[in-house]
Amino acid sequence: MTAPSPDPARARGGDGDPPYLRIAADIRRQIATGALRPGDRVPSARQITRDWGVAVATATKALAALRQAGLTTVVPGVGTVVSGAPTAPPTARGLTRAEIVTVATNLADAEGFAAVSPRRVAAELGIATATLRRLVPSEDDLILHMIDAAFASAPLPPNPPAGWRLRLEIAGRRLWTLFRRHPWLAPTLSLTRPQPSTNGAKYLEWVLSALDGTPLSLHDRMYVHLMLFGYVRGLATTLEPEAQAERETGITGNEWMDAGFGDAALPPDVPFFEQLVAMEDFELDVDRLFDFGLSRLLDGLAVFITRTPRSAPRP
């Protein structure tokens, strides 16, 4: 169901309430009168921005106010919808940590990692924050369980194929798929201070064992893992900011570039860049970029493995 068109003047009116509260009140009235029913999508932040003539931040605050009031909820892949009929809130006895982690992950997938906090997750579950903290004591603990659940959702093959290159390619592609599924995951993971995730450690073990039969020492194998992980993670850190930019602007990165890089003036003496801007068939496809980079990385590693003697000393 589509919500009735609002009157932008009400958002800018002079009734004393901030614009975001007036927008929230209008949507609340639509819910109360049945114009918006349980399960119906409410206007997105982009739609509110367009229809009410307000800033994205104002639209976001209006939607947050509705969620905090328990009138709406976020459904991954759908958006913000009207909540169903109120039910008895779950008790600490009936709640599981897996349920908490699932809600937190869904929030991060739909709204970005900044939306996740123990207080927000507790509100989505309809419980007190103190109740949630009995199962997930801290925000760091919640993040760790989110990371672990994400890796558990994409296990590597228990019986890997022969050959180090194919195994590493599988590992890299599995990691890229995981980051595409959860754009918040890549920037959340630390390269230099890795979180002690059980399933993350299993991924590391799989990659290290993929180099069995090569002359590489355990020391070198670890550097191969870090190189592969660093490449995939580095490229994937662009995914969440891009998703946020699309939510706020309503256009993709390629559409932004086609529009002249936000109407920015080109710097002088950049002939190749000027030719690139003028090209009509160039599209920045991150999946294609990932494929290109992964192949070149494995090409270089093949040369290194070939040139490494079996008795190579540890550096």
Tens digit of each residue's pLDDT, the chain (315 residues): 445 555 544 444 445 678 888 898 888 888 877 788 888 888 888 788 888 888 877 888 888 888 877 888 877 556 688 886 433 444 445 688 888 899 899 888 888 888 888 888 888 888 888 888 888 888 888 999 999 999 998 888 888 888 999 999 999 999 999 998 898 898 888 877 777 888 999 999 999 999 999 999 999 999 999 999 999 999 888 887 776 666 666 656 555 555 555 556 667 777 766 666 666 665 678 888 898 999 999 999 999 999 988 764 455
Domain boundary among the residues 85, 101, 135 is at: 85
Whether residue 190 is found in the same domain as residue 258? yes
CATH number, domain with residue 56:
1.10.10.10
Looking at the structure, do residues 145 and 165 belong to the same domain, yes or no?
A: no
312, part of any domain = no
Do both 69 and 120 map to the same domain?
Answer: no
- DSSP 8-state code for residue 84: -
313 domain-assigned: no
Domain CATH for 277 = 1.10.357.10
Alpha-carbon distance of 10 to 15, in angstroms, equals: 9
Q: Are 29 and 133 in the same domain?
A: no
Residue 315 covered by a domain: no
User: Do the domain assignments include residue 202?
Assistant: yes
- 149 and 161 in a single domain? The answer is no
Residue 257 pLDDT: 57
Backbone angles phi, psi at 127, to 5 degrees: -130, 170
Domain of residue 78, residue span: 1-85
264 located within any domain: yes
Check whether residue 112 and residue 192 sit in a common domain: no
Give domain status of residue 130, yes or no. yes
277 and 162 together in one domain: yes
Q: How far apart are CA 176 and CA 208, in angstroms?
A: 18
In this structure, is residue 314 part of a structural domain? no
- Please tell me the distance from the alpha carbon of residue 172 to that of residue 166, in angstroms, as a whole number: 10
Amino acid at the residue 201: A
Cα separation, 147 vs 247, in Å, equals: 24
pLDDT of residue 87: 39
95: domain CATH number?
A: 1.10.10.60
Q: Which residues contact 5 (CB under 8 A, 6 or more apart)?
A: 51
Are both 142 and 161 inside the same structural domain?
no
For residues 44 and 121, membership in a common domain is answered with: no
Residue ending a domain, among 153, 176, 195, is 153
Q: In the prediction, which pLDDT does 8 show?
A: 46
Q: What is the pLDDT of residue 220?
A: 93
- For 305, the token pair is 């493995």
60 and 92 co-located in one domain: no
- Please tell me the distance from the alpha carbon of residue 52 to that of residue 6, in angstroms, as a whole number: 7
Short-list 139, 235, 138, CA closest to 187? 235
Q: List C-alpha distances in Å: 309 to 79, 92, 166, 314.
A: 55, 59, 22, 11
- Is residue 141, in this structure, part of any structural domain at all? yes
In this structure, the number of other CB atoms found within 10 A of the CB of residue 79 comes to: 16
The domain total for the chain is 3
Q: End of a domain among 106, 128, 153?
A: 153
Looking at the structure, tell me whether residues 145 and 164 fall in a common domain. Answer: no
Q: Are residues 50 and 72 in the same domain?
A: yes
